[in-house]
Amino acid sequence: METKEFEFKGLAMNGFVALFIEIALVALCIWGLVATANNETAPILPIIGLLLACILPIGFRKLEPNEAMVMLFFGKYKGTFTKTGFHWVNFLMTSKKVSLRARNLNPDNIKVNDKTGNPIMIGQILVWKLKDTYKAMFEIDSQTMAGGGSGTAPVSVSSRMRAFESFIQVQSDAALREVAGMYAYDENEAETGELTLRSGGSEINEVLLAKLNERLTMSGLEVLEARINYLAYSPEIAAVMLRRQQAAAIISAREKIVEGAVSMVKMALDKLKDEGVVELDEERKAAMVSNLMVVLCADESAQPVVNTGSLY
């Protein structure tokens, strides 16, 4: 979306120069009042000068780094003033100050459904800043939000930034729900090789960031960084899913144990045959394999049995 923001080009000068002119004008007007009093003439010009000296200070403005003022002339946008320091601008201008500094946002965790329909709890943390002052001030109703429902009440910078933060929070919740619904929670529900919320890491964060900035384009706000900082099954299914994960872990461990046991049994039989330690028929080999598999795969230590008889 094309921006309508532009730099303020109106009347402005260094604030200290304007302050010197103000002091000089007041001194000149006082001298004029004294002179007209001695001459017994009407002090029209000194009085007008004093009135002007009382009005001119309205134009003084002060900006810190990464702050900006949206300048309005009787409701018409006249540009954004971003020069830091002490300045004087046309006193007929009204200004709305905003902060351009980066801010953190850590919304509450929300309950969503993943791609497979499982309810999960997910949370995010954002770093955001104001990018386009025109859109932020006039494309969304930040004035009413900051003024507590009244568009005419004076609004502070902090209230205006809280209004922007509230807008981002609503949009971030919607974006997070959309992203969470695109992926399964973990590999148990996903297809082979498919990206999941648990394993996605930086790739999921990049998708979330893109979705957020897509939603915030109209507002002039930009998310610099978005990260999922909390991910868990919803409490009502957490216990069941934990048992399933434990079962999957046990099965995986058993597979490794059996694989290793088979390898060890094969190695033992090959060693006995190659070195001629003992000749075993098929029945004895089967018995030996059975005993070794029991010993190697059992959870408890095997109890040895000493056979004092002959093998034949």
pLDDT in tens, 219-278: 899 999 999 988 888 877 766 667 767 777 777 777 787 788 788 878 877 777 777 666
Per-residue confidence band for 191, with pLDDT thresholds at 50, 70 and 90: low
Per-residue confidence band for 17, with pLDDT thresholds at 50, 70 and 90: very high
Per-residue confidence band for 202, with pLDDT thresholds at 50, 70 and 90: confident
Give the pair of three-digit tokens for residue 156.
């502070």
Q: Beta strand 76-81 with 67-73: parallel, antiparallel or unpaired?
A: antiparallel
Higher pLDDT, 151 or 298: 298
Higher pLDDT, 70 or 255: 70
Query: Using alpha carbons only, what angle is made at residue 197 by residues 221 and 116, rounded to the nearest 5 degrees?
Result: 110
Q: Is the pLDDT of residue 72 over 90?
A: yes
Give the pair of three-digit tokens for residue 238.
């957490």
The predicted pLDDT at position 304 comes to 63
Mean residue pLDDT across the chain:
83
The predicted pLDDT at position 29 comes to 86
Give the pLDDT confidence of 24-48 residue by residue, as tens digits. 988 888 888 887 777 766 678 878 8
Q: Is the pLDDT of residue 155 over 90?
A: no
Contacts of 191 (CB under 8 A, 6+ apart): none
Give the residue-averaged pLDDT of 164-184: 91
- What's the predicted TM-score (pTM) here? 0.70
DSSP, collapsed to helix, strand or coil, labels residue 46 as helix
Contacts of 120 (CB under 8 A, 6+ apart): 111, 112, 113, 114, 180, 185, 197, 231, 232, 233, 234
Higher pLDDT, 9 or 268: 9
| Helix 44-55 with 15-39: angle, nearest 10 deg | 160
